[in-house]
Structure 1
Amino acid sequence: MPLTRLKISNLRNLGAVTLHPSSSLNFIFGANGSGKTSLLEAIFFLGTGRSFRSHKVKPLINHNADSLILFAKLLSQDFEHSIGLERQGSSGAKTKIDGKAVYSASSLASLLPTLIIDAHSFDLIEGAPKERRSYLDWLVFHVKHSFHDCWKGYSKALKHRNSLLRRGRIEGFELRPWEQEMCSKAEQLALMRQECFDKLKLNLNEVISDFVPLEGISIDFYKGWDKEKTFQEQLEEGKERDAKLGYTWYGAQKADIKIKIEGHPAEQALSRGQQKLLVCALKISIGKTYSELTGKPCIYLVDDLPAELDGDNQKRLANWLSLIGAQVFVTAVEKQALLNAWPEAEKEQAAMFHVKHGLVEHTNQTL
């Protein structure tokens, strides 16, 4: 499902930009502040309905404009699709796929599966469980088509149970219908997550051993409650505690991927350099698993490659991205840094874009 055309209007310092990307590899270079990351941000926005740099829309809109507009064409299973998106501050939002209005970000994600590798990717190791849960759920969403509705159902029931707990309403007849819904959905979510994690872990073992061989590494899925108990048993045992807290302590909302080295949390046991390599392995593994399970490649956005990896590991990352067959958009300040990382055969098919003062020039001078 590669992007074949991308139009950007008034996203940060990018004025009016039109690109015709390569279906495989796209090099983006330019000085700091020129708009390289904003270009990646536009692609990410088209695939998720949000930015990876800000939770607010207003900072994304060029200060000389009232709105930002993004448009893309892509190929999916030999069919051409279009995505159009317009945002006007905090008030106006329009999203269309193939000319029809859509109101759910899940529709964008289904059509344009996107993974990003940047400085914030360290949250996978150092951040809260939510980061690793979102990482796994990206795969589950794309592979298990019932996951999205199941998660929505669970979240609704959880919200109602927590509301009753905060109000001190713990009578069985009030909690029971929401707990029954939660138990049903939680077990389904755990099963879908575990199945996807088991497939992911096979690739994790292979890719991690190439990037950063680690002795005593363990990577395990935690479903959000005691593995020896059903979720219903866990809820019953913790009802008094939950009533005191005013929210549900255990559940699918607490799922996590536990990464340990010799029994110690990875963020405590690994150097910063090792963490960088482990993050790359995690990102590569999930894209590889996605491709194997769906038969389709995803899109990778790699921001400021040389800043995160040394020369040898830049080449290692490039080789894995080439092996997966993903469409890649990768940025750096210097063009030569990008050229040095990729194999000669891959560079022959690459497109080169120079970003300067918010303008993007497509040059064929990749070699």
Structure 2
Amino acid sequence: MPIKSLHVQHVRNLSDVRITPSPRINIISGDNGSGKTSLLEALHFLGMTRSFRTSQFRHLLQSGADNCLVFAQIDPAGKGEQHPLGVERRPDGDVRIRHAGQTLGLSELAQLLPLQVIDSDTFQLLEGSPGVRRQFIDWGVFHADPSFIQLWRGFRRILKQRNSLLKCGKIDPRLRRVWDREFVTYAERMTALRARYIELLKPDFETTLSRLLGGVPVELKFSQGWDRKTPLDELLEEGFARDLKQGFTGSGPQRADLRVRTDGQSAAERLSRGQKKLVVSALKLAQGALFYRLNNRPCIYLIDDLPSELDEQHCRLFCQFLEETSNQCFITCVDPGALGGFWLPQTDVSRFRVEAGMLTQID
């Protein structure tokens, strides 16, 4: 079980909340605005030092508070151990991450506490920009291959430098060739890892989707960000005049995308709202299944308002899938009885009720 206990201070309307969650399924109910989603934000803050709902930390911090603190006892490897993990952030942006007496960086924290979020914004995997889908891919590659984070950082540094040179308007051809060689080297290695990951993900996605949305064929196709038929160094040379005019690099892995199609058309255009929720949920659940297979440990799922957009049958199927995994799940809903009859008697389910920022466990 990744999280054995949780203590939240000054996250939105949660002044001082302590819970001992189930290792498997945790259902948090409450009226709109009561603070149930804030608890999920606190868990996300613990693993990522930020909210999944807003990029502005001031909106996460409780009004009048001078810091935001989330503390937990965790067992990330599932060995029956307990290690303290604390994340604190102040309005000036200062972040402190401490685990078992050691200070961690953000990438080390993300590796320690792998999080998956399923909420209304998860629809952006179908409807949003390619950048959203690149983040989805890169989360998986980050956890699948230890070398990826250094490749990603190196590529971002080179891309930033090349774009800076393009914006200057005048570039020494010899200097450009040096940066282009580095650009191509990092780009090809990053792309190979991304492409391999999508191929690994496809079987899990197809299996999950067939259970949640049987009879609707959905295809995943990785787009690397440039024409496969032409070497990237040639494309950079051919497109230099255009890049110089635009002030940024037009070809490369910074343009990669994940195409999600059904019957040869965009799934975002073809599917109903409920079908879209099942497709994006299948993508997230498949990532968790693949993560478990590659790392031999579960993820933590933060699922906001699960019954929304789903009928009772599909909600039951979703819960059955969660029940069969080893993941620790935190699920919010308005009605405490909405998810009550979907679990087997032997499943470890804890239920909590949130009212005005106060959390109580219910039978």
TM-score normalised by the shorter chain: which range applies? Answer: over 0.9
Amino acid at match of 1:211: L
The aligned residue for residue 86 of structure 1 is: 88
Change beyond 3 A, Cα 1:323–1:169: farther
> Equivalents in 2 of 1:210, 1:98: separation in Å?
40
Offset at residue 279 of structure 1 (A)? 1.2
User: Which sits farther off after the overlay, 58-67 or 117-126?
Assistant: 58-67
Change beyond 3 A, Cα 1:225–1:124: same
The aligned residue for residue 330 of structure 1 is: 331
1:302-317 equivalences in 2 (<5 Å): 302-317=303-318
Change beyond 3 A, Cα 1:144–1:241: same
> Equivalents in 1 of 2:288, 2:93: separation in Å?
35
Q: Is 1:28 aligned to residue 28 of structure 2?
A: yes
Amino acid at match of 2:84: S
Give the secondary-structure state (helix, strand or coil) at the position aligned to 1:280: helix
The aligned residue for residue 49 of structure 1 is: 49
Deviations 1:169-206 (A, max 9, x none): 23321212221211111111111111111010111112
Q: Is 1:71 aligned to residue 71 of structure 2?
A: yes
1:1-367 equivalences in 2 (<5 Å): 1-77=1-77, 78=79, 79-102=81-104, 104-213=105-214, 217-346=218-347, 349-363=348-362, 365=363
User: Which sits farther off after the overlay, 157-166 or 313-322?
Assistant: 313-322
Amino acid at match of 1:9: Q
- Where does structure 1 lack aligned partners over 5 or more consecutive residues? none
Amino acid at match of 1:97: H
Offset at residue 215 of structure 1 (A)? 5.1
Offset at residue 46 of structure 1 (A)? 1.0
Decide whether the 8 Å contact of 1:147 with 1:189 is kept in 2: yes
Change beyond 3 A, Cα 1:354–1:190: same
- Where does structure 2 lack aligned partners over 5 or more consecutive residues? none
Amino acid at match of 1:241: R
Offset at residue 318 of structure 1 (A)? 1.0
Amino acid at match of 1:95: I
RMSD, matched Cα: 1.5
Offset at residue 240 of structure 1 (A)? 1.6
Change beyond 3 A, Cα 1:317–1:216: closer
Decide whether the 8 Å contact of 2:76 with 2:113 is kept in 1: no
- Moved segments of 4+, more than 3 Å: 213-217
User: Which sits farther off after the overlay, 136-145 or 332-341?
Assistant: 332-341
Amino acid at match of 1:352: R
Give the secondary-structure state (helix, strand or coil) at the position aligned to 1:335: coil
Give the secondary-structure state (helix, strand or coil) at the position aligned to 2:117: strand
> Equivalents in 1 of 2:227, 2:215: separation in Å?
28
Decide whether the 8 Å contact of 2:49 with 2:89 is kept in 1: no
Decide whether the 8 Å contact of 1:58 with 1:88 is kept in 2: no
> Equivalents in 2 of 1:206, 1:119: separation in Å?
23
Give the secondary-structure state (helix, strand or coil) at the position aligned to 1:31: coil
User: Which sits farther off after the overlay, 272-281 or 92-101?
Assistant: 92-101
How does the TM-score come out when normalised to structure 1? 0.94
Deviations 1:85-125 (A, max 9, x none): 112213432222223223x3211110000001111110000
* Percent sequence identity over aligned pairs: 38
User: Which sits farther off after the overlay, 214-223 or 175-184?
Assistant: 214-223
How does the TM-score come out when normalised to structure 2? 0.95
Deviations 1:153-174 (A, max 9, x none): 0000000000001111233212
Deviations 1:116-161 (A, max 9, x none): 1111110000000111111111110001101001000000000000
Decide whether the 8 Å contact of 1:58 with 1:90 is kept in 2: no
